[in-house]
Amino acid sequence: MCQHQPPCPPAGAPDHQAARVVASHPEQGWSLLCNGVVAFDDTGVLLPNGRGIPPHQPAHPKVTGLLPRQPRPVTACAAAAAR
pLDDT tens-digit profile of 14-25?
A: 999 999 999 999
Provide the pLDDT for residue 71: 74
Q: Can you tell me the distance from the alpha carbon of 28 to that of 41, in angstroms, rounded to the nearest whole number?
A: 9
Q: Where in the chain are the domains? A: 1-55
Is pLDDT of 69 > 80? no
Provide the pLDDT for residue 15: 92
pLDDT tens-digit profile of 30-63?
A: 999 999 999 999 889 999 999 999 987 765 666 6
Query: Is residue 6 reached through a cis peptide bond, with omega within 30 degrees of 0 on the bond before it?
Result: yes
CB 25, CB 33: distance < 8 Å: no
Provide the pLDDT for residue 77: 63
pTM of the model: 0.65
CB 39, CB 33: distance < 8 Å: yes
